[in-house]
Structure 1
Amino acid sequence: MGQGDVEGVLEFRDMVDTAAEYAPQMKAAGADVVVVLSHAGLGDSSYSVPGLPDENPADDIAREVPGIDVMVIGHTHRDVPEQIITNEVTGEPVLLTQAYRWGGTVARVDLDLHKVRGQWDVEDAEGMAIRTRDYPVHPAVVEALTPAHDKTVEYVNQVVATATEELSGADSYWRDTPIVDFIQHVQTETVEAALEGTSYADLPVLSLAAPFSRTAVFPEGEVTIRDIAGLYIYDNTLHAVTMSGAEVKDYLEYGNGMYFHTVPAGDIFDPATDTNLNNRPDYHLDLMSGVDYEVDLSEAVGSKIENLTLADGTPVTDDMQFVVAVNNYRRSGGGSYPHITAAPLVYDEQQEIRQLLIDWASEREVIDPDDFFDPNWTLTVADVPVAQ
């Protein structure tokens, strides 16, 4: 579902303001204990878009909104069974508890309540993590879930194509690889087909894709739905926007400048230590197809992109116009990339990218990198390509 599907239909309000409205209502209605269930977590937001509030304001809610005793939080997927934040209005402690991802833990909260003048008051709150691995599976739950589990396993094990060679995502975060170009090719082909006969048909189509998984691999031979889902691990849908040459360069400068460490001239780039700058996860590094470019790691942030050209060697100028295929997460502001959220939308057919990959492979029955691999970008140090 994209922004256009809910605009004017649903209202998304600031979470702090919303909590400030409803917490007093709960107290007024007679609640002795107010517990806030919030998918928002703690820490920095992956968005930085003007007018878009913080996506992880749990600590702000606890600090600013009076009357809350406990917050059960999520989204950041950390194992934090107990964290105490003092409310600035009342001076009272607020317990925040967060269970670990994928059901690894269950958060338990114990409250010590005392009755004072006919009302229960929270004297103490304690959070703890119950580790699910320490408990045996419940036979009734297993029995209830087995039909759906078996059906899912059967589905993901379906063979959709044959790969002519093994394709791995292990190095995709620092060098151009066929497995990511598979994504780029399908996105580009889909957008080009959709824009045939429109005023955008003559514009070059670029594509953006992130190296989501270092463990992704298409084995030589049979490729299953499980393998493709292991490459594209999110339920993103495909969008396309128009951008200028200047905006494309800014976009690449931002992503590469935020992800790669600066490597002084003469030093050797090490993928193990010179990536993930500022704890930037791999899924926030966008790789681009449709243009050729080099990323000179010895240059300062904002000046790393060099030799940005079209495939035929024509330099990309600021005023050139492109159609850029991109996922809905990035276009909505995820990763805080410049220009992308304000760029004119020219394609949004609610097509899930993972399904597009599955459909492409199923229709052709063969995954051959000769059909889509285009090594169009490379890392350099002082214009010397890094070892591949």
Structure 2
Amino acid sequence: MTLPPGTSRRQVLAAAAAAAAAPLVAAGPAQAHRPTRPQSWSLTLLGTSDTHGNVYNWDYYKDAEFDDSKQNDVGLAKIATLINEIRAERRNRGILVLDAGDTIQGTPLTTYYAKQEPITETHQRHPMARAMNVIDYDAVTLGNHEFNYGLPLLDLWIRQLGFPALAANAVNARTGRPAFTPYVIKKVDLGPGAPALRVGILGLTNPGVAIWDRGNVEGRLRFEDMVATAAKYVPIMRARGADLVVLSAHGGDSGTSSYGPELPVENPTALIAQRVPGIDAILFGHAHLEIPEKFVTNEQTGAQVLTSEPSKWGQRLTRMDFTLSRQRGRWVVTDKHATMLNSNTVVEDPKVLAAVRAQHNTTVGYVNQVVATSVTELSAAASRYRDTPILDYINKVQTDTVAAALAGGEYAQLPVLSIAAPFSRDAVFPAGEVKIKDVAGLYIYDNTLEAVVLTGAQVRAYLEYSAKYFVTLAPDAPVDPETISDPAVPDYNYDTLSGVDYEIDISRPVGERITTLNHPGTDTPVGDDERFVVAVNNYRRSGGGNFPGIVQTQVYNEQQEIRQLLIDWAQDRGAIDPADFFEPNWRLVRAGVPVFE
């Protein structure tokens, strides 16, 4: 660039700036301008869900390391090792760690610090808070089981966390305002030279809480539709600067519900991805499925929403990887995919183990206390298809408890029936010493006992609904106990009743299988208008499983945990003898012929 003599310094600088801003003029092929490719950065999101109180790789019911037929391991201590390896790989840049809920319920460890030494009384730090704080999560979504032990314990656990607990669709029933933190927007360091990336994280809990934990939340919290809540908050997060929007949702992706149409959909993750624009990815849980990577097309924008569900109990860790670039001053996701990591490939993290060791050891000591002596071994292995004494142990305890509570009152003259549900098919009471872990292993949920009044017609309808658990078999078809049940119906949705005699004819179509329903020990049929008191757990009575007729006003509800009642009954008597409670009253038949003798 040549300027005339006498040009001032200001003119020189102006000319130089103009030259720098001017487009290049190609003088030939060798000088052709090739625009540089935008620089790319990456973000990794790690996710767990449905850890259900598992920290150690330990089975408290067997008092041994956890193991199953697929050689899975469990626990946050293993998950921590996987997370630490990925943090080291990425040098702690561009990484987020989320959990999609169901955290503080599910093992004797968490039950102990909710029931035996509740943190609301001792003010100890909850074992799941200890473990998750060591791992240093960025956020956790509240699952439905977070509400099992009441709002005071939940609120204290949240205060013990070093990161936010999210639930945008849980609102104060009186004010309509969010009861918990709806979302957070996190600034993430992607590395040297990268502009700041702001990631919006929205948490959605399950509307079924309103049914399953009605006693803890009714009149206090309302649970709104997850799809509508996402549609409300995603634009807000974008308007407040979120470059990337991720949902952490405690609801499966099947689009179905276990409780009928009276509440918003229980498993709407795919619907959220389809109907709500502006979402980049969804980490989800609740269904306990292993879904490494699934893309869902948004109906409005055509964008592909990345979704993933990391199984349960700390068996798997979702890894989502995003490639991003800056285009016209905005972040753009140019690629995304997800993989699933297996926790059985690593050892447990010593820092997580140390943080929870004292509470783990206390729990192990507790579940190994002897409560009674059994005169014989009792197993639940065949209880799905054959009447067994171990389920009648549940029924005996429930029946006696309700009958004693109602004695002398309005319902004292009504027969008491009992529903045994759910149960673990792996449960065994050994001959000889029976420990707390054996009893807890039979009834693995923290359900409480309730009772309602049903008619004979309602009892029959309930049994018909339960009987859909079985496949239909012709009278001459071969029978295999392992394939006799419909895989679409989970074990926990098969119930048995005591107090009436009945037959389930599995050669008949669903809805027509209860061919005999008599008063016990007689040939007298149960009349449609007869009334019965029915002992049942709070989950089922509140609508869990969508069983017909059972959602009735309780005539008994003293908030007594069924598992503890089973323990107390054995402890009070010192002996478990089937002669005291076993009354065979149901069987599977085909065209009237017993399937199993």
Q: 2:387 maps to what in 1?
A: 176
Quick check: 2:377–2:430 contact (8 Å CA) kept in 1? Answer: yes
Quote the residue 1:208 is aligned against. Answer: 419
**3-state SS of the aligned residue for 1:49?**
coil
Structure with the greater relative contact order (CA < 8 A, sep ≥ 6): 1 or 2? 1
1:320 corresponds to: 530
1:350-361 → structure 2 map (5 Å cutoff):
350-361=559-570
Q: Look up the equivalent residue of 1:299 and give its one-letter code.
A: R
Per-residue deviation, residues 32-73 of structure 1 (Å, max 9, x unmatched): 011111111222645142312221111111111111111111
Out of 301, 319, 328, the position equivalent to 1:108 is: 319
For the pair 1:331 / 2:549, whether they are aligned, the reply is no
Quote the residue 2:310 is aligned against: 99
Whole-angstrom CA distance in 1 between matches of 2:255 and 2:548 = 18
User: Structure 1: how far apart are the matches of 2:358 and 2:487?
Assistant: 44
Q: TM-score normalized by structure 1?
A: 0.95
> What secondary structure is seen at the aligned counterpart in 2 of 1:317?
coil
Mapped partners of 1:101, 1:302: distance in 2: 33
Q: Which amino acid aligns with 1:271?
A: P
Structural RMSD (CA) = 1.5
Matches within 5 A, 1:115-264: 115-210=326-421, 212-256=423-467, 258-264=468-474
Please tell me whether the aligned partners of residues 464 and 512 of structure 2 are also in contact (alpha carbons under 8 angstroms).
Answer: yes
Is 1:26 the counterpart of 2:237? The answer is yes
Distance in 1 (alpha carbons) for counterparts of 2:401 and 2:410:
16
What whole-Å deviation, never above 9, does each CA across 1:329-373 have from its counterpart, x for those lacking one? 2122222211112x2321222211111111111111111111111
Aligned counterparts of 2:307 and 2:282: Cα–Cα separation in 1: 5
Higher Rg: 2
Q: Residues 39 and 192 from structure 1, CA distance in 2 versus in 1: closer, same or farther, beyond 3 angstroms? A: same
Q: Give the counterpart letter for 2:332 in structure 1.
A: D
In the other structure, the counterpart of 2:554 is: 345
Question: Does the CA-based 8 Å contact 2:234-2:279 persist in structure 1?
Answer: yes
Residue 172 of structure 1 contacts residue 211 of structure 1 at CA under 8 Å; is this kept in 2? no
Correspondence for 1:305 among 514, 527, 531: 514
Residue equivalent to 1:370: 579
Tell me how far 1:278 sits from its aligned partner.
5.1
Counterpart of 1:375, as a letter, is P
- The aligned residue for residue 274 of structure 1 is 484
- Give the direction of change, closer, same or farther, for the CA distance of 1:227–1:125 in structure 2 (3 Å limit): same
Per the alignment, residue 64 of structure 1 pairs with 275
Superimposed CA distance per residue, residues 118-166 of structure 1 (whole angstroms, 9 cap, x where no aligned partner): 2212222221222222222222222222111111111111111100100
In structure 1, runs of 5+ residues without a counterpart are none
Q: Give the TM-score normalised by the residue count of structure 2.
A: 0.63
What secondary structure sits across from 2:509 in the alignment?
Answer: coil
Aligned 8 A contact 2:502 2:587 in 1:
yes
What letter is aligned with 1:114? Answer: S
Partners of 1:156 and 1:44 in 2: how far apart? 39
Q: What residue is the counterpart of 2:589 in the other structure?
A: 380
Give 1:99's aligned amino acid: P
1:213 and 1:148 map into 2 onto residues whose CA distance is 25
The alignment-based identity, stated in percent, is: 54
Query: CA 1:58–1:136 in 2, change beyond 3 Å: closer, same or farther?
Result: same
Stretch deviating more after TM superposition (134-143 or 5-14): 134-143
For 2:556 and 2:422, the matched residues in 1 are separated by 23
> In 2, are the aligned partners of 1:269 and 1:381 still within 8 Å (CA)?
no
Q: In structure 1, give the amino acid aligned to 2:511.
A: G
* AA aligned opposite 1:323: V
The residue identity in structure 2 corresponding to 1:320 is E
What pairs with 1:40-51 in structure 2 (closer than 5 Å)? Answer: 40-43=251-254, 45=256, 47-51=258-262
